[in-house]
Structure 1
């Protein structure tokens, strides 16, 4: 388990305005996948401080759900959720999404196989700042889906009462994409000002996100290589 940390420094005027207008911090996690889907809000922090420190563990699970809607603002609720290390396979046989986790998947990936006859929704969960597994997206599970977590996270402050698991297809406001592959000891820091926004200058690991910008291209990397590998895995599991 890798502990990740984000430190956000704010001035007194900014933190006062954020608190007075009931802002919260929301995070969405990037993933590479063979499947089509939509990103979901993964992390939320409602208690804001002048020097805000957010930590989480990059610990994963695979989930399934009978509700496959991709409509924005819909909350994704897992029917079944299975903690699993990278390299695991979830074989789903029940019509309600129940299955069994075993080793034997591609290294560095998580694989979900639908061996039943019911089309389901599925995806990955990551531990949030409260130690709870929260979905980072919802995807169509028809045959075989492959997922590879990407060490990039988008953060936004918003006064709108979003919730973890909520489908978000557009930016919740002016945001920042942070690349944790550039982080030392999985820790990054940045400043935020209510009027000037996120301080991305001279920070190669930080890129600004415009308000209302589409999130699918930023967070969901639909990989042709993973699609080909998923087809190969599907053929091998159907023999």
Structure 2
């Protein structure tokens, strides 16, 4: 017997909602036999918290993504190990089931949420706002595949004296027919929720397919057609999966990608959208490594640039620097 604790902040949640979430997760992953609400018994712990007891076969990331799809934003799912049958145990935070992770790759995702706090003074905030600046974010990956490029992961014009950026360990694998060209945008995604240790099998020239078991510690995408497509992974930021990299996937080929906890931030007036291919830094940027700690604090000054105390977990990136090797790390798995 396993326990799943569904909890929502900023809204209510009941048994019927949770049943719909489980059903939707099964549709997304084409695994209705596993994500079957009839296999579970439910107890409403409060107006925001529901406990589901049953088989421990469901992964939490697809459940949380399904909750967002259905409009139940800010819903988290905690998995309590089998055998925990006490009510107090059910309310205790537990490790999320996110698949196997290979320690040698340096991607130890023990936590479920990561964040960076950006401190700025009033003069900097006013200068950025008056100058029509946007905050751009980029996320790093490791892969042995060639030709990969980072994408604009998120874009925001909402910032202030203390700007927080957070993201969750929830992934999707996607394909697209868009070409990978500098400053081009990757559009028309066929996207599927996926965990580390799973593989997207592309079955049609249009890029559609199914998610199956793959290689531990990585997200794999196999092209079972003779048509080249573009592929990559997305990660949830602000509740929405956004593509963060793009790789060419040739006919009958296989790309393996490992998301790592490195992010790059930059303020720029450049008018680009999420999903845009980037090769050079738009302006002075900062590359932050959150492998050892899930939250970091940095500061930005409109004249002095980025500051973080000079610690080894971050580095400044000069304008026009080639960021491809910084955000697409080569690794022979």
Q: TM-score, normalised by structure 1?
A: 0.89
Query: Once superposed, what is the RMSD of the aligned Cα atoms?
Result: 1.2
Shift of 1:124: 0.6
Count residues with an aligned counterpart.
220
Q: Secondary structure of the residue that 1:59 maps to in structure 2?
A: strand
Structure 2: tracts of 5 or more residues without a match: 1-60, 62-111
Shift of 1:66: 1.4
Aligned counterparts of 2:240 and 2:271: Cα–Cα separation in 1: 19
Q: Which runs of 5+ in 1 are unaligned?
A: 227-239
**TM-score normalised by L of structure 2:** 0.64
Secondary structure in 1 aligned to 2:291? Answer: helix
Deviations 1:112-148 (A, max 9, x none): 010111111101111123x221111111111000000
User: In the alignment, which residue of structure 2 is the partner of 1:29?
Assistant: 139
1:1-239 equivalences under 5 Å are 2-35=112-145, 36-67=147-178, 69-103=179-213, 105-129=214-238, 131-142=239-250, 143-183=253-293, 186-223=294-331, 225-226=332-333
Question: C-alpha distance in 2, partners of 1:74/1:31?
Answer: 20
The offset of 1:97, in angstroms, is 0.6
Structure with greater proportional strand content: 1
Q: Which structure's relative contact order is higher, taking Cα pairs within 8 Å and 6+ residues apart?
A: 1
- The list of structure 1 runs, each at least 4 consecutive aligned residues, that deviate by more than 3 angstroms after superposition, is none
Contact 2:231 2:246 in 1 (8 A): yes
Cα displacement string for residues 140-191 of structure 1 (whole angstroms, at most 9, x for unaligned residues): 11100000011100110111222110111100100000000121xx111101
C-alpha separation in 2, matches of 1:120 and 1:53: 35
The offset of 1:31, in angstroms, is 0.4
Give the Cα–Cα distance (whole angstroms) in 1 for the partners of residues 174 and 154 of structure 2: 17
